[in-house]
Structure 1
Amino acid sequence: VAIYLLIAGTYTPLTLVTLRGAWGWSLFGIVWGLAVSGIVVDSLHKQGSRRIQMAIYLLMGWLIVVALYPLIQIMPTGGLVLLVLGGLFYTGGIVFYALDDRITHAHGIWHLFVLAGSISHYLIMLLYVL
């Protein structure tokens, strides 16, 4: 549940402060809709929803690509680099999340990737959004 909220919470300032307008509000609504959907799926299907979770995480995370053109016009290059870097950290980490039961310490490694992605996105907010 927390991952859905983390992703949607990260999108919120990017969509409402940086993008604004139709692009911002549309992405805001879609991402929060996916977050609520993911939370509902997780609540109803405790077993066997891991693949669905990962698909929703990835969809939510990379949905920003649809607004790449307006984002490039608004956000400085440094912010875009941090955004992509954070996305790559999160995406790379999902490999360890998926292999949690097969690789020793995979869960801890996944958390390191999440930490790196979170730091990247924190820096975007600090330096380029707020």
Structure 2
Amino acid sequence: MAVETVAAAEGEAQKKNRIQVSNTKKPLFFYVNLAKRYIQQHNEVELSALGMAITTVVTIAEILKNNGLAIEKKVMTSTVGMKDENKGHVVQKAKIEIVLGKSEKFDLLMNAADVPPESASKDEE
């Protein structure tokens, strides 16, 4: 996989709270839900993507921020050299990394999403 090759080439240890996004492998909300779980477990998540998958990472970050679940901590952009398997030479690819932190309302919003409407009314009695 190209993304894992880049991480290895950069000498990075695989972080437990990093999601490397591909725009071809999984649906958007798979990544949104995974990011929520990582924020719950680690208090922050790092979303990372190369090339055409950058738009997917930005969309995931915006969904989480607009729903009040996350706050933006850091955005980093760079280019990485990758060997093109077809042409045999190194091509430059854009890379983005977005670090999102847990919002103050995160736990409240996540707990509200877990409670079915009928059980909420029983608690009020």
TM over 0.5, shorter chain: no
Provide the TM-score with structure 1 as the length reference. 0.29
Q: Which has the higher strand share?
A: 2
Provide the TM-score with structure 2 as the length reference. 0.30
